[in-house]
Amino acid sequence: MTLLFLYVISPLTWSYELVVIKAIANEKHSFVTRNQSKNNKTFVGQKVTFTSDNVTLIARASDVTAEFVKWEIVNDFTDVPFRRGEVVTMYDTTEYLWTLTPEKIKLKYLKKLYKPRRSIEFTTAFSKGISESVTQTIPQSVNRGGMQFEATFRKEFNTNYSLAYGFRYSKDIVNLPSASVINTRFIGLVEGRYYFDPMEDFHDAQVGLGLAFGFGQSRSETSGQVSFGNAVLIPATKLSLMFPINKNWDFELISAFESLRLDESNANNADQTTNLVHSKAGIMLRKHLN
């Protein structure tokens, strides 16, 4: 039984072909694709199955040239459900449809044909402190907020995974009951990202998840006293929603929770460690380089 099943499936698996809808007739009952058949084996009257996301239909070749094929839908009551320029799956069989998963195979092949891109990114975000503790001080009410500016380089590995690295400049204002502190940080970042498949019904947007780590310098100033030290980002978790603007630009909405450790000392060599957690929200603009 298994051998019989494989015998039936094997020729069908190799009959898949990705084609682009080149034109659609005004009456919405026929469409044109490029003739990609090897040795021009497509012939007038041939029936094939076309599949898009949620649509499967049978069409008959009504006009065949060396470059193009005109297809007419077999069902007289169905209009062409495709769009010009859309990539659809074509296979030369109208039987055993229960064995076929053309859209999954289409996505698989599109991912294989995908060329990873390199990009530069610019991000602006507002941050808000959630919790904070400082060594050698009495716990007190703290109100921390600020802004972040990032410049990163992003490298894709495929349609889902990418790696970004770059720099961040942050400036926080910390309001205490008795004073205000200005804290600035300059941190080098590395971030791994995962993007889910595009949502075709929502502008091809992609939901993204990120995990970032960083290390750099911190500076705090209050009432003429200045402290310097190290800043460690351990770690940042990010949720984003990316919208492609065109083939060269993306726009991304981001939100994140971050944990930081600031180890600083002043001119009197008094050490102080600050552990803080904050949330942030911002926007990112991405320019693809290839």
Second-level CATH architecture of 11-113: Beta Barrel (2.40)
Per CATH, the number for 118-288 is 2.40.160.20
Backbone phi, then psi, for 12, in 5-degree steps? -70, -40
Q: Which of 235, 231, 234 is nearest to 264 (CA)?
A: 231
Residue with structure tokens 């600020």?
146
Q: Tens digits of per-residue pLDDT, 211-242? A: 999 999 999 998 878 899 999 998 899 999 99
Question: Which pLDDT band, with edges at 50, 70 and 90, does 208 fall under?
Answer: very high
**Residue 112 predicted with pLDDT over 70:** no
Percentages of the chain per state (helix, strand, coil), in multiples of 5: 10, 60, 30
CA distance 204 to 247: 12
Every domain range in the chain assigned CATH 2.40.160.20 = 118-288
Query: What would the two tokens of residue 242 be?
Result: 């990316």
Predicted confidence band of residue 138 (pLDDT cuts 50, 70, 90): low
Write the CB contacts of 161 (distance below 8 Å, at least 6 apart in sequence). Answer: 192, 193, 194, 195
Give pLDDT, residue 109: 57
pLDDT in the model for residue 102:
54
**Residue ranges, CATH 2.40.30, the chain:** 11-113
pLDDT bucket at 12, cuts 50 / 70 / 90 = very low
Residues 106 and 17: beta-carbon distance below 8 Å = no
Percent of the chain predicted with pLDDT > 70: 83
DSSP of 56-82: EEEEEEEEE-SSEEEEEESSTT-----
Q: Which residues contact 64 (CB under 8 A, 6 or more apart)?
A: 35, 40, 42, 43, 44, 70
User: What is d(CA 150, CA 187) in angstroms, rounded to the nearest whole number?
Assistant: 9
